[in-house]
Amino acid sequence: MKDLFKMLDFLRPYKKSVFWGLLFVLICSLSALPLPLIYKTIMDKALPDKNIYLLLLCILGVVFLMLSAQIFAFFQTFSFAQVKEKVFTDLRSKIFEHLQGISLKQFAEQRTGGLLSRITSDVDASQFLLG
């Protein structure tokens, strides 16, 4: 749990982008809510009454809601992808700064290739975990 909070510290500079991404998630989810009511209107009123105007209105509503959901899903993906790349750039920079501060004696005593391989695989695993 402590490690999770350390990772959340990397998100702090990007609060605004995370907020917008979460807002887009909310809007995208809310845009799907009226769809069952529209389908109910089509099945219960437009088709039995052969009301073409109501049917076209419902179809336009469905198309509008689906299109808006896809637009907001794009912005959601874009926002989160931007944040993810910036966070992992910061993480790699912090690791590099830490490695620069380690004495050369320690590098001489340990296998440097193993250390770099472990760092790379840990960062890649974290990046895979977050998508």
Distance in angstroms between the alpha carbons of the first and the last residue of the chain: 20
Query: Which domains does the chain show, CATH number per domain?
Result: 2-129 (1.20.1560.10)
Residue located via tokens 């009301």: 51
Inter-CA distances, 9 with 14, 21, 81, 103, Å:
10, 18, 17, 27
Would the CA dihedral through 93, 98, 99, 104 be positive or negative?
A: positive
In this predicted structure, what is the pLDDT of residue 37? Answer: 95
Q: Are 127 and 88 in contact (CB under 8 A)?
A: yes
- The alpha carbon torsion through 83, 116, 103, 107 (nearest 10 deg) reads 180
Distances (CA, A) of 49 to 39, 42, 45, 46, 103: 15, 10, 6, 6, 82
Q: What is the full per-residue pLDDT of the chain (131 aa) written as tens digits?
A: 676 777 788 888 999 999 999 999 999 999 999 999 999 999 999 999 999 999 999 999 999 999 999 999 999 999 999 998 898 888 888 888 887 888 777 777 777 677 777 777 777 777 766 66
pTM reported for the whole predicted model? 0.73
Identity of the residue numbered 40: K
Q: Name the DSSP letter for residue 102.
A: S
